[in-house]
């Protein structure tokens, strides 16, 4: 057996079944994910659910947020907010870390202690954001459907939703620490997977009742999905490898020769975040127009209504604005993740350089140029991934029914989380190999 070779599927499943450490982590992960899913169906008290179900049928914000809560908002469970406040807090902290020197110093120079402090601050931000979201949902969305509206209803509902969100955040950290994969990503993954039976059921029902034409349309949809998945895998794994040469150095009497390595730059630096940001901006006008505290007859309400009408999914305005926002947020998020100046300084400290490029400003300018090109290509890819389902919905009559609630954002998250989790499992399998070598 080649020790450095990527584990085969047979070896991976064998280690998952036999290795006590890996098996224990998998069982912990599965158990905690099941616990979170059960909490979604524990109802928030004091709400007329029949009226609520009738009133939210055409509310676009629920369709978007339900992707990440696994139907928690529409089901009105105590885990309705899910992991969303923690994700929002993480995004806010990333922005603040890039803008505030003290936080940047904590992250870069304080090591593990600094990262723990930032994690603690993120939890407090998540708590505050959960309270804000709970108040907004309770006052703006749930109050008209309360059996006994009043201040106590608001207090009780806000406490229930906030406590549920904090519990889910704690579960996600437990999964990250004692399980397999990133806890927050896995929770979103499971919530999206929970909507798949409904999506597949819609397709099967259409195929059974619509005749040969409907069957052909469903088959075309499945083929489009498969091609999209293959394309997402290639782009998510795509990297530009920039060659790096390490200078010769002498340690004592030993002379180390020049070494050639590579600096990998991902094609899609932001992952799914540009799509999430763009989707949140696009649904904001329609969400504000439909909330109970916005008067539809007022000037503000009419402005929101006109904007939401122009930004109807499928219209050319929606597609154009969406593409522009995706490109903008791709560059914005890439600037937060990758800093060419820091990369240039780190290469200089290590005594490494890019062939044909002088260290210092020339290196940072070269890296910035490459990153900008990669970011543009990644943004175009994200735009294609978003546009394909919309085009299919317009071209195929059954597309709207089958794709509803499951679009490009969901697909990108599913593929990205699956790849990351599989890589982490492979890492554990490779570590088991080296433990076996030590025992021998």
Domains of the chain: 1-193 (1.10.3370.10)
Residue indicated by tokens 């990297």: 239
Most confident of 50-59, 210-219, 250-259: 210-219
CA dist 93 and 335 (Å) reads 15
**At residue 431, does pLDDT exceed 80?**
no
CB atoms within 10 A of CB 4: 6
Higher pLDDT, 96 or 208: 96
Backbone angles phi, psi at 113, to 5 degrees: -65, -40
Contact call for residues 196 and 225 (beta carbons, < 8 A): no
**What is the share, in percent, of the chain residues with pLDDT greater than 70?**
73
Contact call for residues 145 and 46 (beta carbons, < 8 A): no
In the Cβ-directed half-sphere of 264, how many Cα atoms lie within 13 Å? 7
**Tens digits of per-residue pLDDT, 6-37?**
666 666 667 666 666 778 888 889 999 998 88
Residue indicated by tokens 């603040």: 96
CA dist 186 and 418 (Å) reads 9
| DSSP code at position 250 | E
**At residue 311, does pLDDT exceed 60?**
yes
Contact call for residues 76 and 56 (beta carbons, < 8 A): no
Contact call for residues 304 and 288 (beta carbons, < 8 A): yes
CA dist 341 and 347 (Å) reads 10
Instruction: Give me 370's structure tokens.
Output: 């490459």
CB atoms within 10 A of CB 85: 25
**Tens digits of per-residue pLDDT, 376-409?**
988 888 888 777 777 776 666 655 555 555 566 6
CA 75 to chain centre: 22
CA dist 186 and 409 (Å) reads 15
Backbone angles phi, psi at 222, to 5 degrees: -65, -40
Residue indicated by tokens 């390490």: 246
What is the edge-to-edge ordering of all strands in the sheet holding 352-353?
A: 259-266, 239-246, 352-353
Angle (CA) 319 320 321, round 5°? 95
Q: How confident is the model at residue 139 (pLDDT cuts 50, 70, 90)?
A: confident
Contact call for residues 396 and 402 (beta carbons, < 8 A): no
Sign of CA dihedral 371, 268, 172, 188: positive
CA dist 71 and 77 (Å) reads 9
């Amino acid at each position: 057996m080649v020790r450095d070779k990527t584990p085969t599927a047979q070896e991976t499943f064998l280690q998952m079944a036999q290795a006590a450490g890996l098996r224990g982590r998998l069982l912990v992960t599965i158990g905690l994910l099941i616990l979170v899913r059960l909490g979604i169906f524990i109802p928030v008290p004091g709400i007329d659910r029949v009226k609520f179900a009738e009133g939210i049928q055409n509310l676009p914000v629920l369709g978007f947020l339900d992707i990440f809560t696994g139907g928690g908002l529409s089901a009105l469970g105590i885990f309705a907010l899910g992991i969303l406040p923690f994700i929002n807090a993480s995004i806010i902290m990333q922005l603040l870390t890039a803008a505030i020197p003290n936080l940047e110093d904590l992250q870069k120079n304080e090591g593990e202690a600094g990262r723990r402090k930032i994690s603690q601050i993120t939890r407090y931000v998540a708590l505050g954001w959960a309270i804000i979201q709970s108040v907004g949902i309770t006052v703006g969305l749930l109050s008209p459907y309360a059996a006994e509206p009043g201040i106590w209803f608001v207090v009780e509902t806000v406490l229930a939703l906030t406590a549920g969100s904090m519990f889910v955040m704690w579960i996600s950290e437990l999964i990250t620490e004692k399980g397999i994969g990133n806890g927050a990503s896995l929770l979103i993954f499971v919530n999206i997977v929970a909507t798949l039976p409904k999506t597949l059921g819609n397709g099967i029902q259409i195929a059974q009742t619509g005749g040969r034409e409907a069957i052909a349309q469903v088959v075309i949809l499945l083929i489009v999905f498969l091609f999209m998945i293959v394309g997402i895998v290639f782009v998510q794994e795509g990297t530009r490898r920039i060659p790096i040469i390490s200078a010769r150095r002498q340690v004592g009497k030993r002379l180390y020769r020049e070494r050639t390595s590579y600096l990998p730059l991902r094609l899609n630096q932001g992952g799914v975040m540009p799509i999430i940001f763009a989707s949140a901006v696009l649904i904001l006008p329609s969400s504000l127009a439909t909330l109970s505290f916005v008067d539809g007859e007022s000037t503000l309400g009419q402005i929101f209504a006109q904007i939401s009408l122009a930004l109807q999914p499928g219209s050319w305005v929606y597609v154009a604005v969406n593409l522009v926002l995706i490109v903008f947020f791709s560059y914005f998020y890439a600037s937060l993740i990758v800093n060419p100046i820091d990369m240039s300084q780190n290469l200089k400290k290590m005594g490494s350089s890019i062939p044909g490029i002088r260290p210092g400003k020339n290196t940072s300018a070269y890296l910035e140029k490459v990153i900008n090109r990669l970011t543009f290509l990644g943004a175009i890819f994200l735009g294609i991934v978003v546009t394909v389902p919309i085009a299919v919905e317009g071209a195929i009559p059954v597309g709207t029914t089958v794709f509803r609630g499951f679009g490009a954002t969901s697909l990108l998250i599913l593929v990205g989380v699956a790849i990351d989790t599989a890589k982490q499992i492979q890492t554990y399998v490779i570590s088991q190999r080296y433990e076996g070598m030590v025992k021998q």
